[in-house]
């Protein structure tokens, strides 16, 4: 068998295990610099602050629900990209303001909250109904 052929009887490659926190939550720096411990500490502090924002219909916070998809830290502004549990969530305005307020309690500049069109999947939060 040549290198370009695959063995039809071979077992599929094992998937790599996922970590507790979704890796897409944290944005790599734009310049591709090495790991920055101060930046990571700020990202984790923002996530910790966001645990105070609870979805009133489900009773869990936005971090546990995997609603926070990305945090982009900049020198003068920060952006938090998130999704909602339902497209027309009646608490969307309140939750967005709470996310903004909690993130701004960590950084000393403006925070922009962007809603993504992505659909929420309860399995991302480890919920199985």
Greater confidence (23 vs 120) lies with 120
Query: How many domains are there within the chain?
Result: 1
Domain that holds residue 77: 23-122
- Residue 127: the pLDDT is 80
Residue 113 falls inside a structural domain: yes
Residue 127 falls inside a structural domain: no
Does the pLDDT value for residue 25 go beyond 70? no
Residue 10 falls inside a structural domain: no
Q: Is 41 left (phi over 0), alpha (psi -120 to 50) or beta?
A: alpha
Residue 4 falls inside a structural domain: no
Q: Give per-residue pLDDT as tens, 28-79.
A: 445 556 788 999 999 999 999 999 999 999 999 999 999 999 999 988 999 9
Residue 65 falls inside a structural domain: yes
Dist CA 35 CA 9 (whole Å): 41
Q: Pick the range with the lowest mean pLDDT from 22-26, 38-42, 65-69, 92-96.
A: 22-26
Residue 32 falls inside a structural domain: yes
Does the pLDDT value for residue 118 go beyond 70? yes
Residue 58 falls inside a structural domain: yes
Residue 128 falls inside a structural domain: no
Q: Does the reported pTM lie above 0.75?
A: no
- DSSP collapsed to 3 states, the chain: CCCCCCCCCCCCCCCCCCCCCCHHHECCCCCCCCCCHHHHHHHHHHHHHHCCCEECCCCEECCCCCCEEEEEECCCEEEEEECCCCCCCCCHHHHHHHHHHHHHCCCCCEEEEEECCCCCCHHHHCCCC
CATH of residue 107: 3.30.300.130
Distance between terminal CA atoms of the chain?
47
């Amino acid at each position: 068998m040549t290198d370009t052929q695959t063995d039809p009887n071979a077992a599929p490659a094992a998937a790599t295990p996922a970590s507790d926190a979704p890796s897409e939550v944290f944005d790599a720096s734009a310049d591709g610099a090495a790991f920055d411990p101060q930046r990571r500490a700020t990202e984790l502090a923002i996530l910790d602050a966001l645990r105070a924002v609870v979805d009133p219909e489900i009773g869990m916070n936005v971090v546990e629900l995997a609603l926070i998809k990305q945090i982009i830290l900049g020198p003068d502004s920060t952006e938090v990209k998130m999704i909602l549990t339902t497209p027309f969530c009646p608490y969307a305005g309140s939750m967005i303001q709470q996310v903004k307020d909690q993130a701004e309690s960590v950084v000393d500049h403006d925070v922009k909250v962007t809603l993504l069109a992505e659909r929420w999947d309860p399995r991302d939060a480890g919920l199985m109904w």
